[in-house]
Amino acid sequence: MDKVCVVGLGYVGLPTASLLASKGFKVHGVDVNWQVVQTINRGEIHIHEPDLDVLVKSAVNSGNLTASLEPAPADVFILAVPTPFTDGHVPNISYVEAATRAIASYLEPGNLVILESTSPVGTTEKISVWLQELRPDLDPNSIYIAHCPERVLPGQILKEIITNDRIVGGINPASTAKAEAFYQQFVTGEIVPTQARTAELSKLAENAFRDVNIAFANELSLICERLNIDVWELRELANRHPRVNILKPGPGVGGHCIAVDPWFIVDSAPEQAQLIRTARQVNDSKPHAVVSQVKAAAADVNQAVIACLGLAYKADIDDLRESPSVAIVRELARESVGHILVVEPHISALPASLDSLGSVQLVALDVALDKADILLLLVDHQAFKQVDRQKLQGKTVIDTRGIWR
């Protein structure tokens, strides 16, 4: 069975590493955060994902999973590091480059390097170029390099790593075949071969498609507000058409994929990606529209208490990355719209960006329902769906998810 080195032990890397270890692979995990390394080596987890705690504990206890700050020799190297963007929405692939440099000295002929991080088109080819510069002693044809983008849904990661179809694109046919054979050892979904650049754009296109459709729903909600129409009723009626499926609007778009990946396409083809750019702008503007709604409601209340329900970027997870809810709370606090109470059942402390403001308080749901003048529903967590509607009486309710209709 192959030895695998997984670089980056976050929301994708750790589930991947622990799953491979459970399948009998010898897995060496790498992370730059010493606390993360220590936590995993104790058989514990630093992120929330159903059943991940049990899997990591089992993998560590079996001896098949270890974690370290440094890579180790392996047959397969998987890079699962962040790919954010900088100011101006320019892709930042410095983490990919750093991971490539970290593994370079450990590479041997016959090794397979897989980039799972969602990346701008051409990134996998850059890994090849970097490795040739770092290891001129190696025949470039002796190292196999491929891109296999992750396509998992938080909350179902452990299942979808196995069952989802996987797109595998190598820098050459031999790399594609090598990566295809690796994933066939543990993936039950179909392994679909292509070239690296197509694999990269495929993942970006998937998320851009969703972003564009969400933007339509969000723009429609703004139109409905302007025309004094219930967007939820309108959506139900329009979706009765057999070929119409309008998505649900919300307070914006968050997460590490949909809110980020379309900008990679815009950066690569700025003149052609007009619709994709506009969709991003629509979704990025939605939090400001929600803030305006709250300000209008608070103008009629003396020293308003505003309860913001939910900080995660989607329901029933603890992931706050690129969350529009966090942006909304931050803007409300900075503009001193009122006293801000936050309810997020999946975290135990406010993120630093909100805690540093001093005017935002994390409270239990029952406290927020009791004290708030304005209830701002931002995330459709299950706990919020179960709220007794009688407790909403006498309060101004702004429901951006349509769960309290």
Determine the longest span between alpha carbons in the chain, in angstroms.
74
SS3 175: helix
Task: Show the DSSP H helices in 105-190 as ranges.
Answer: 123-134, 157-163, 173-183
Q: Is 21 within 8 Å of 89 (Cβ atoms)?
A: no
Q: Is 339 within 8 Å of 303 (Cβ atoms)?
A: yes
Cα–Cα distance between 200 and 116 in angstroms, integer? 10
CA–CA distances in Å: residue 120 to residues 125, 221, 256: 11, 31, 14
Q: Name the residue among 128, 72, 81 with its Cα closest to residue 105.
A: 72
Q: Is 168 within 8 Å of 193 (Cβ atoms)?
A: yes
Residue 345: count other Cβ atoms within 10 Å of its Cβ: 18
Q: Name the residue among 262, 248, 398, 254 with its Cα closest to residue 326.
A: 254
Strand-by-strand arrangement of the 76-79 sheet:
65-68, 26-30, 3-7, 76-79, 112-115, 144-147, 166-170, 191-195
Which residues fall within 8 angstroms of residue 260, CB to CB, at 6 or more apart?
83, 84, 85, 118, 322
Annotated catalytic residues are 203, 257
167 beta partners: 192
Q: Is 77 within 8 Å of 103 (Cβ atoms)?
A: yes
CA–CA distances in Å: residue 135 to residues 127, 141, 201, 231, 254: 12, 12, 28, 58, 39
